[in-house]
Amino acid sequence: MATVFGNETEETSNHTADSGEIDAAKSTLTETGTVTVIHVYCACQSGHSQQTMCAIYDNDGTAGAPLTRLGYTNEITLASGQLVGWVEYTLTVPLLLVAGDYFLAIHRGVTGWYAQVRYGASGGDMRYGAASYGTPPATWPGTSGNAIKLAIHAHYTVPATGCPKQSMHLARQRR
């Protein structure tokens, strides 16, 4: 069964960004889990489409800021006039994370200001930076941030604690 970390609220304010901007929201994972997908609550303005990708960054930068990219998703093109809704991005490789703080990020393509990520006006830790569009940068590209709360979350599964048959098999191998 999948569990969620990050912001699941269907926020109502629009956050648009310049082409190549990458935005991330600090999110706390309370237990070890394998992340497979990221969801973003977003829309796209009429008359334009926009490529987007998501990524997960560790909070290993100065003062708990994002720094190291741990994984990223497939690319999704938001269609012209796409209505607001949860868009699912699949990680290119499932990512095993230990409990802790991470940054869930969305990276926008070469056309700017069209993808509209929803956000709440306060209570968050959002960071942003500029980076050429493509695979999200391996290290976080900026130091800017504010207190808005992006509508972005990740789904994860908790690893199994052990299987009785596997334990018996390992016990037999030790003899």
Residue 99 CA to residue 85 CA, distance in Å, equals 28
Nearest to 41 by CA among 118, 109, 110: 118
- In the prediction, which pLDDT does 173 show? 34
Nearest to 21 by CA among 155, 145, 120: 145
Report whether pLDDT(169) > 70. Answer: no
Do 163 and 9 form a contact (C-beta atoms < 8 A)? no
- In the prediction, which pLDDT does 23 show? 94
Fold of 3-174: Jelly Rolls (2.60.120)
- In the prediction, which pLDDT does 162 show? 56
Range with lowest mean pLDDT among 58-62, 119-123, 141-145, 158-162:
158-162
Report whether pLDDT(48) > 50. Answer: yes
Burial (CB count <10 Å: 0-12, 13-18, 19+), residue 45? middle
Q: What is the pTM of this model?
A: 0.89
pLDDT band, very low/low/confident/very high, at 112 (cuts 50, 70, 90) = low
Q: What is the DSSP letter of 81?
A: T
Report whether pLDDT(43) > 50. Answer: yes
| Per-domain residue ranges of the chain | 3-174
- In the prediction, which pLDDT does 101 show? 96
**Which percentage of the chain shows pLDDT scores above 70?**
90
Report whether pLDDT(108) > 50. Answer: yes
**pLDDT tens by residue, 1-28:** 679 999 999 999 998 877 788 999 999 9
